[in-house]
């Protein structure tokens, strides 16, 4: 049943028809957005108002040779290998605004307290709007980004358990799936501690510590593990505790594959990686944030859209991998003495999310195969 919105009409009194029943009270909902402990906060990097770019320099190991047999002399030069320098630039500025009327708007409220509560809520949307954009921007970026490292994508071979109907066999099969996922993550964590080249874009020799990573789960997969297989297989996240891994969970809508070409939304398939708003035929503006479905007929540029990929199990992200540099957050206001209202503005600048080629950002994907006969029998 559709929600009935107040149309501004009072109800006629049942006893005296020339009187109308009064409004009992007004309540303004204030707890609208609660974004704490987000990936955007975790990966935020402070910038300044001066300059716009931070440089990150990576170097590789030198050559090792046999003593006395290299042919080198005291005058031989052994320069370091050419380093790689990556730039992160503050290149995006956003603004949001709200106009507060200090006279006529008050007539819509029963008291100064209710009016004050309303003003407090609508002005808080300035900061909340920034937080929503930052959060969805980072979530969609991490969920869709694949690096160019040799081992950027880890395939986890899993049996197809979708056709199993027997409850006991289904539970056994799901436990086996969880076991395979846990084993794959644990194996990679051991490999990251080894001295290898294949986990970073530069192919430089590196070793990484497991506690420096965050495991970002796809909701669709982690809930299968937690609610079906956790007590038997993961034992309160053994794969996390053993390797001192932090973890986070994102909605499955953020995990996908970036569309390689420009195109047009169909209202169902493509989701946006950027924020935008469109105005409908009635002149109403509709805001869209990263992760939202692109409406039918709305065009997008190359790299601005993605499709959801349900085979993505999780992302293993180094804590220093993603840079999201903030330049300024400034609140300003302008009072209009003619109309007796006040414009409130929030302006902020930041760099588009970007991963550092120095660090791993790994994608674990399910490779679903038909199970072998008796692969997971109930015992």
- State the SS3 of 27-56: CCCCCCCCCCCCHHHHHEEECCCCCCEEEE
Residue written as tokens 């409406």?
Answer: 295
User: Would you state the structure tokens that stand for residue 218, as one six-digit string?
Assistant: 């796809």
Residue written as tokens 């005296």?
Answer: 16
Predicted pLDDT of residue 45: 83
Predicted pLDDT of residue 244: 58
Predicted pLDDT of residue 378: 46
pLDDT tens digits for 207-263? 999 889 999 999 999 888 776 655 444 555 555 556 556 889 999 999 999 999 999
CA distance 196 to 199: 7
Predicted pLDDT of residue 379: 42
Predicted pLDDT of residue 156: 94
CA distance 321 to 43: 8
pTM of the predicted structure, to 2 decimals: 0.88
C-beta separation of 39 from 248 below 8 A? yes
Beta strands in the chain (DSSP E): 44-46, 53-58, 84-101, 153-159, 213-218, 246-250, 256-258, 263-264, 271-272, 276-279, 285-288, 299-300, 305-308, 312-318, 322-336, 341-351, 354-355, 361-369
User: Would you state the structure tokens that stand for residue 166, as one six-digit string?
Assistant: 């027997």
C-beta separation of 153 from 362 below 8 A? yes
- Torsional class of 37: left (φ above 0), alpha (ψ -120 to 50), beta (otherwise): left
User: Would you state the structure tokens that stand for residue 373, as one six-digit string?
Assistant: 């006969």
Longest alpha-carbon distance in the chain: 112
User: Would you state the structure tokens that stand for residue 225, as one six-digit string?
Assistant: 């593990």
Pick out the chain residues at pLDDT < 50: 231-233, 378-379
């Amino acid at each position: 049943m559709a929600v009935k919105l107040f149309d501004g009409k009072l109800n006629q009194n049942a006893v005296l028809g020339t009187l109308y029943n009064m409004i009992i009270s007004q309540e303004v909902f204030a707890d609208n957005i609660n974004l704490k402990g987000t990936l955007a906060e975790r990966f935020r990097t402070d910038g300044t108002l001066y300059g716009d770019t931070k440089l990150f320099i990576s170097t590789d190991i030198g050559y090792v040779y046999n003593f006395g047999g290299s042919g080198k002399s005291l005058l031989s030069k052994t320069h370091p290998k050419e380093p790689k320098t990556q730039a992160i630039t503050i290149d995006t500025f956003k603004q949001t605004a709200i106009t507060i009327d200090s006279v006529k708007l008050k007539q819509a409220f029963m008291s100064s307290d209710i009016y004050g509560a309303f003003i407090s809520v609508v002005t808080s949307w300035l900061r909340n709007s920034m937080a929503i954009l930052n959060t969805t921007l980072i979530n969609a970026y991490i969920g869709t980004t694949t690096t160019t490292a040799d081992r950027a994508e880890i395939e986890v071979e899993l049996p197809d358990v979708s056709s199993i109907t027997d409850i006991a066999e289904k539970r056994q099969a799901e436990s086996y799936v969880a076991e395979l996922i846990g084993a794959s993550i644990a194996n990679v964590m051991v490999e990251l501690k080894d001295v290898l080249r294949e986990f970073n874009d530069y192919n430089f020799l590196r070793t990484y510590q497991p506690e420096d990573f965050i495991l970002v789960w796809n909701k669709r997969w982690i809930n299968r593990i937690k609610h079906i297989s956790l007590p038997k297989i993961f034992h309160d996240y053994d794969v996390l505790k053993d390797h001192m891994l932090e973890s986070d969970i994102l909605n499955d809508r953020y995990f996908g594959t970036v569309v390689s070409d420009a195109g047009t939304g169909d209202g169902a398939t493509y989701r946006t990686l950027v924020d935008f708003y469109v105005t409908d035929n009635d002149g109403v503006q509709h805001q869209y944030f990263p992760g939202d479905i692109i409406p039918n007929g709305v065009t997008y540029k190359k790299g601005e859209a993605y499709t959801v990929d349900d085979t993505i199990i999780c992302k293993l992200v180094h804590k220093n991998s993603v840079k999201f540099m903030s330049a300024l957050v400034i609140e300003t206001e302008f009072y209009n003495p003619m109309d007796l209202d006040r414009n409130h503005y929030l302006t902020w600048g930041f760099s588009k999310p970007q991963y550092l080629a120095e660090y791993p950002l790994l994608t674990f994907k399910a490779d679903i195969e038909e199970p072998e006969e008796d692969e997971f029998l109930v015992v």
